[in-house]
Amino acid sequence: MKKVLKIILTIVLFIFIGIQFYQPALNVDNGQVYTTDFTQAYKMPVQVKAMFQTSCYDCHSNNTNYVWYDYVQPARTLVENHIKNAKEDLNFNEWGIYSNRKQERLLNSIKEQIETKQMPLSSYTIMHKKAKLNDEQIKVLTNWLKEQE
C-alpha cells in the first residue's frame, strides 16, 4: 500500500511540475496611460480613484498587479480566465470607447454591485485584503457614482 501511495504522489508531483511550463500571457501593459481610462473620463477625488484602482483594476483593466502565487499553476490559468471574463464585462481602461448608453448602464451596475457587496468578489478579497471595501468606502464610492448619473 505504501508503495502504491508513493507512486501516486510521484506521478502527481511530476504532473504539477509539468503544468508549470504552461504560462498564459500576462495582463500587463507596462504602465501605459490610457486617454480612454475611467479615471480620465471623470473628475474624481484622489481617494475615489485609489479605491477603484485597488479594488477593481486588477481584473477590470489591462494591467494586473500579480502576486507570487498567481504564477503557480493551476491558479495561473484560473486567474487569467477570471481576468478575461471580467474585462469582457467591463474594462476601465477602455471606458471612453463605450457608448454613452453603455457607460450609463455600467455606472448603475457598478454602483449596485458595490452597494450589495457583490464586487469586489469575496474570492478575490480573501487573498487581496486591501481590495476589500469597508462600509465607509462603499458609501463614498456609491455616493460618488450617484453624482455621475
pLDDT the model gives residue 123: 85
Q: What is the DSSP letter of 120?
A: S
In Å, what is the CA distance from 129 to each residue of 83, 109, 141, 142, 149?
Answer: 18, 23, 18, 20, 30
pLDDT given for residue 97 in this prediction: 94
Task: Quote the pLDDT of residue 31.
Answer: 67
Burial (Cβ within 10 Å: 0-12, 13-18, ≥19) of residue 92: buried
* Full pLDDT tens readout for the chain, 149 residues: 788 888 888 888 888 888 788 787 777 777 676 788 998 899 899 999 999 999 999 999 998 888 888 888 888 888 898 899 999 999 999 999 999 999 999 999 999 999 999 999 888 888 888 999 999 999 999 999 999 87
C-alpha–C-alpha distance, residues 111 and 149, integer Å: 10
Q: What's the whole-model pTM score? A: 0.81
Cis check: omega of the bond before 45, within 30 degrees of 0: no
**What does the pLDDT read at residue 105?**
95
Q: Please list, in sequence order, all residues whose beta carbon lies within 8 angstroms of the beta carbon of residue 67, skipping any fewer than 6 positions away.
A: 127, 128
For residue 127, what pLDDT is reported? Answer: 83
Task: Quote the pLDDT of residue 70.
Answer: 83
Angle at alpha carbon of residue 80, lines to 49 and 44, rounded to 5° = 10
**96 to 75, 76, 102, 140: CA distances (angstroms):** 32, 30, 10, 23
The C-alpha cell of 26 is what? 500576462
- Say how far residue 49 (Cα) sits from the centre of its chain: 15
